[in-house]
Structure 1
Amino acid sequence: MNMAQLNRMHSGKGFIAALDQSGGSTPKALTQYGVPESSYTNDEEMYRIVHEMRTRIIKSPAFDSEYILGAILFENTMDRKIEGQWTADYLWEKKNIVPFLKVDKGLADFVNGVQLMKPISNLDELLTRAVERNVFGTKMRSVIKEANVIGIREVVGQQFAVGMQIVEKGLIPIIEPEVDIYSADKEKAEDILKEEIIKALSLLDKDVKVMLKLSIPTVNNFYSELMSDPHIVRVVALSGGYSREEANQKLSQNHGLIASFSRALSEGLTAGQSDDEFNSKLSKAIAAIYAASIT
């Protein structure tokens, strides 16, 4: 484990950029970026265009470690290069931004009010490669739609079980049990979720470190006690479908909670923009998300 990266994630000022839309969500992300599906004919072409988009964001002068602590990549981005360096090395060595890897394979079907993660078939091999590529940590997402104790307990159980495989490889897992912002009983689901997370943390060996990525809670500062748990490196928030403005506004009311936004970060960026326009838009987005993250 890289201690400089650990210290930066634990106590640095800033937020995490989530650049990890993968297979299923890529065409949509590209459409928002102004690249229609007719622009590419196969996955290889699609991923090359995605890498160009990610490279443009990462190389932008606006993408600066003064504001950004870490960046979450997906497998295809980790396995490509920026200016001859593996993406993770470029992030850390050129930008002083900590690299993470999304490792989940998407969501299973809806059962007991939740969607667990699909089995991650090649996890061990993927983690070995992540370590070779100098990645610091991982991210994996489940979704909670209802305040169902059985389902939420299963989500937390699965997240922490896979999390421990990740810890054994020397990586820091970002555990992400997202509560759907449109859930009719979001607040109740968050009550159950917090209780289950506290239980799971209490069972960890004392040296184990994890991060949490959670929806912005209905009750402000609801996750404060999780932030002070010795196992927790950082608690970060997803934008979860809120517009950037709304996500920032809600985030700013939660002391110590920092952003890990994806769609809300790239909102308004398009392939056709000049570099000046692109960098200026990205710079404004980053400044606003940063401001909401340091409250």
Structure 2
Amino acid sequence: MASVKLNAPSSHWIGGGRSLNRRFAFRTEIPRAVTIRAGSYTEELLQTAKSIASPGRGILAIDESNATCGKRLASIGLDNTEANRQAYRQLLLTTSGLGEYISGAILFEETLYQSTIDGTKFVDCLRGENIVPGIKVDKGLVPLPGSNNESWCQGFDGLASRCAEYYKQGARFAKWRTVVSIPCGPSALAVKEAAWGLARYAAIAQDNGLVPIVEPEILLDGDHAIERTLEVAENVWAEVFFYLAQNNVVFEGILLKPSMVTPGAEHKEKASPETIAKYTLTMLKRRVPPAVPGIMFLSGGQSEVEATLNLNAMNQSPNPWHVSFSYARALQNTVLKTWKGQPENVETAQKALLIRAKANSMAQLGRYSAEGENDEAKKGMFQKGYTY
């Protein structure tokens, strides 16, 4: 395996030790030489990341677990059966013209191996639209012993072999979601666990040909001000990149899926898109190396319109990354309610998907206007302690 020598920082801590309660410590950086691997998949990883982070396009996240997908189906009166899950995902993945606005689609394992009713593999439907298939590889959140009622993400058992099988099935990128809760502290243990877990997953994914999406979601829960969110986000991403470097992850072959920097959902003062953009870009510029090709934001319970407006505001000024979207509910909410499980509504629902995808495409280019958006698209979707 070839390798290259780079100067990368080691870290020492000042400011009261590694306490992450209310006042965070800060790293001082001392250059040191480290060896960064350049394995057999490196060039492919870079090309995959570049393809996903292409102008005017973003990610459709349909990687909900079967249980969560069941909740979505129940909201329109459908039973949680494989046939109904397949029908809904077929609606999404066979939308003609979707590839103009969508560059990647994150799938749940069941979906990766499914086909349309006429036998066309879903991964082939995506490839036909020049959309890169991706796969959720984590196994969900569980309580973190010793923490302040926080969680950690499981799924390392068999991860390498699963990634290898997903690659054979056609997946070319992966996603691993862990969460950080501001009302819970967050504790030093939870932040370190989240960062280290993401780094180990990213290294394993790259070793098996999958571009890792790195996602430490900072939940919207709480009544804190936007300044507190920025403080926590900066600390979390500092930890994440420290451990990514320690695990020799190739930064040019990853994508990020951060939360936008917003006030807590219960905070009395809402922030404008311009304010959210200012704070979010401040965090990125302070913590994210320009080598990272794509920043694919999650919507985190915002309304469809809010998520699009905030993304648009971030693209009003130059930045060194492809700042785009990886939305689930913020792309699907109107689609699902339009479909209602009725075959005769499929075409109308697919048109609704294209409308939302195009809106976010325009936002990625900084050209979106909310004029003409309907009331349904303006409804918030925040759920306290959201897991899936």
**After TM superposition, is the score higher than 0.5?**
yes
Q: Assess if the C-alpha contact under 8 Å between 2:198 and 2:240 holds in 1.
A: no
Determine which of 120, 124, 130 is the counterpart of 1:96. 130
1:43 is matched with none
Structure exhibiting the larger radius of gyration computed from Cα positions = 2
Q: Does 1:262 align with 2:305?
A: no
Q: Assess if the C-alpha contact under 8 Å between 2:136 and 2:174 holds in 1.
A: yes
C-alpha displacement of 1:274: 2.1
Determine which of 61, 78, 100 is the counterpart of 1:36. 78
Q: What is the CA–CA distance in structure 2 between the aligned matches of 1:172 and 1:10, rounded to whole Å?
A: 12
Q: What is the CA–CA distance in structure 1 between the aligned matches of 2:120 and 2:47, rounded to whole Å?
A: 20
Q: What is the CA–CA distance in structure 1 between the aligned matches of 2:149 and 2:229, rounded to whole Å?
A: 12
Determine which of 198, 207, 212 is the counterpart of 2:256. 212
Q: Does 1:151 align with 2:211?
A: no
Closer/same/farther in 2, CA of residues 119 and 133 from structure 1, 3 Å limit: closer
Q: Does 1:223 align with 2:223?
A: no
Closer/same/farther in 2, CA of residues 35 and 233 from structure 1, 3 Å limit: farther
Q: Does 1:277 align with 2:338?
A: no
C-alpha displacement of 1:228: 4.4
SS at match of 2:194: helix
Q: Assess if the C-alpha contact under 8 Å between 2:254 and 2:293 holds in 1.
A: yes
Q: What is the CA–CA distance in structure 2 between the aligned matches of 1:212 and 1:243, rounded to whole Å?
A: 21
Closer/same/farther in 2, CA of residues 68 and 58 from structure 1, 3 Å limit: same
C-alpha displacement of 1:207: 4.3
C-alpha displacement of 1:132: 0.7
SS at match of 2:353: helix
Determine which of 294, 304, 307 is the counterpart of 1:234. 294
Counterpart of 2:58, as a letter, is F
Q: Assess if the C-alpha contact under 8 Å between 1:86 and 1:133 holds in 2.
A: no
Q: Assess if the C-alpha contact under 8 Å between 1:177 and 1:214 holds in 2.
A: yes
Determine which of 18, 23, 39 is the counterpart of 2:66. 23
Counterpart of 2:284, as a letter, is Y
Determine which of 142, 164, 177 is the counterpart of 2:178. 142
2:234 is matched with 191
Q: What is the CA–CA distance in structure 2 between the aligned matches of 1:114 and 1:189, rounded to whole Å?
A: 15
SS at match of 1:253: helix
1:52 is matched with 87
Deviations 1:211-234 (A, max 9, x none): 11111123131214555432x231
SS at match of 2:280: coil
Deviations 1:10-58 (A, max 9, x none): 44431100011113312112123x2433xx5xxxxx1221111111111
SS at match of 1:223: helix
C-alpha displacement of 1:123: 2.0
C-alpha displacement of 1:4: 4.9
Closer/same/farther in 2, CA of residues 113 and 238 from structure 1, 3 Å limit: farther
Q: What is the CA–CA distance in structure 2 between the aligned matches of 1:141 and 1:213, rounded to whole Å?
A: 9
C-alpha displacement of 1:264: 1.2
2:385 is matched with none
Q: Does 1:178 align with 2:188?
A: no
253-262 or 99-108, larger mean C-alpha shift: 253-262
Correspondence 1:239-250 to 2 at 5 A: 239-250=299-310
Q: Assess if the C-alpha contact under 8 Å between 1:89 and 1:133 holds in 2.
A: no
Q: What is the CA–CA distance in structure 1 between the aligned matches of 2:163 and 2:72, rounded to whole Å?
A: 26
Q: Once the two structures are aligned, what percentage of the paired residues are identical?
A: 23
Q: Does 1:5 align with 2:39?
A: no
**Equivalences, count:** 284
C-alpha displacement of 1:162: 1.7
Structure ranking higher on relative contact order (CA contacts 8 Å, 6+ apart): 1
1:70 is matched with 104
Q: Assess if the C-alpha contact under 8 Å between 1:113 and 1:148 holds in 2.
A: no
SS at match of 1:283: helix
SS at match of 2:351: helix
TM-score by structure 2 length?
0.67
Q: Assess if the C-alpha contact under 8 Å between 1:220 and 1:253 holds in 2.
A: no
SS at match of 1:274: helix
Q: Output the aligned Cα RMSD.
A: 2.3
Q: What is the CA–CA distance in structure 2 between the aligned matches of 1:161 and 1:58, rounded to whole Å?
A: 31
Q: Gaps (5+ residues) in structure 1?
A: 41-45
1:108 is matched with 142
SS at match of 2:105: strand
Q: What is the CA–CA distance in structure 1 between the aligned matches of 2:69 and 2:95, rounded to whole Å?
A: 21
C-alpha displacement of 1:140: 1.0
C-alpha displacement of 1:186: 2.5
Q: Does 1:86 align with 2:121?
A: yes
